[in-house]
Amino acid sequence: MKRLYRNALIASEDSPKLNQGDVLVEGDRIVGVSAGITGIEDCEVIDCAGRVLMPSMFDIHVHAREPGQEEKENITTCAEAAINGGVTGFVMMPNTVPAIDNAGVVRTVLESARRTRIGPGIYTAGAITKGRKGEELAGIAGMKAAGCVLLTDDGFPVDNPQVLRRAMEYARDHDLPLASHCEVRELSGKGCMHEGRVSYSLGLAGIPSISEEICISRDIRLAEYTGVHLNIQHVTTAEGMRTIKRAKDRGIRVTCEVAPHHLIFNHGHIGSYDTHYKMNPPLRTEEDNEALLHGLKEGWFDVIATDHAPHTPFEKNQDFASAPFGITGLETALPSLHHHFISRGILDWSLVVKRYSAEPRRLMKLPPVPVKEGGRAEFIVFNPERTTTFNREFMKSKSVNTPYLGQTLKGMVERVIFGGQELLAR
């Protein structure tokens, strides 16, 4: 059975212009991309007029919570949330219970992933240290052999620079990127939001920008010394971003990611003590929002990643200081980027395709999935004129700890195609 996606606006990382055309799919391949495909028999025709057809998204920073925290999320519900947001591949973080710190746990989570509808697109990171305690290196060689694609103690920094140095040397020798959650915990202390005028007015302990920035500088220096590929996770400050850019200009192997919520929200949104805005690293200032957006447009950020971090309503309904850090993002990322930036002409679709689809796959040494003849049929159809309301009925994640809960954004993921199969059509 063939399917013809007619009159779509096709997005590419290579051009800011949307090109109108038809996309013909047979099996798991795209067999034709051109304007006005005709003469096709036994073909389902899908009208995509006014819709954007583009490669599906890939997220390198996702907390699936399995094993051990399945009350928040599991790999199956995480996969369904991803599909709902136009994401057909992601990398799971290892801060599970127990931590993903040995080959056996790597194999277990990948076996669970293979049973989901996007199984071949799901990968896992492994912990840098045993139990993510920062003391003793995890079984890096065994995890790599079992299918681990990235090393990180995400959620924690590796406080001991000698331990991190050795981990970087092992990661380099095993051709694995190492991702850093950058924070000086002695500076962060018991902080629960950005340290500044808002934290003072709310009477909440703050996390200063230098906590993140000092650790970024340290980890870059170690990466330069060891030659590892270092990825700095969820950058939030203008100075941290500039530090990374200077390192790139010097030829150091460093990449970095920015989360949609750090582009859109800032510490001013916490005025009502809403724990949906509590995350680590925290929301910073309006000036940081503007600087990060500028860096994304200039290509200083390599990837967009959500840091999808589900928590139960019980946990998030605590007071602000006691509630856990983290918000969900897989389902809201693409509509929020469209609503706040693309629909207003601030960003274009080519940037989103490059930074949230192509470059994340390249960073994980995977081929991108451009919409081209002969390529894999792995794409989405996005309707910029429809709206998406984020409520419990719509969302597929087990947890709905997002600032967008109950809100309506402009744009909707209408169709998701993976391996030639339509996983979502609405």
The encoded tokens of residue 261 equal: 């919520």
In this structure, are residues 96 and 67 in contact, taking their beta carbons and an 8 Å threshold?
A: yes
Which residue blocks in 138-281 are alpha helix, DSSP H? 140-146, 161-173, 185-188, 197-202, 209-226, 238-249, 260-264
Q: Which amino acid is at 133?
A: K
Query: Which two tokens mark 234?
Result: 């969820």
Reported as type and span, the H/E element at residue 75 is: helix 75-84
Range list of H helices, 299-348: 313-316, 333-337
Tokens describing residue 225: 């010394």
| Catalytic residue list contains 307 | yes
Whether residue 260 has a cis bond before it, omega within 30° of 0:
no
The answer to whether the Cα torsion of 259, 262, 263, 265 is positive or negative is positive
> Residue 265 carries which side chain, given as an amino acid letter?
F
Catalytic residue among 249, 307, 319, 348: 307
The helix (run of H) or strand (run of E) holding residue 12 is strand 2-12
Tokens matching residue 1:
């059975």
| Residues involved in catalysis | 307
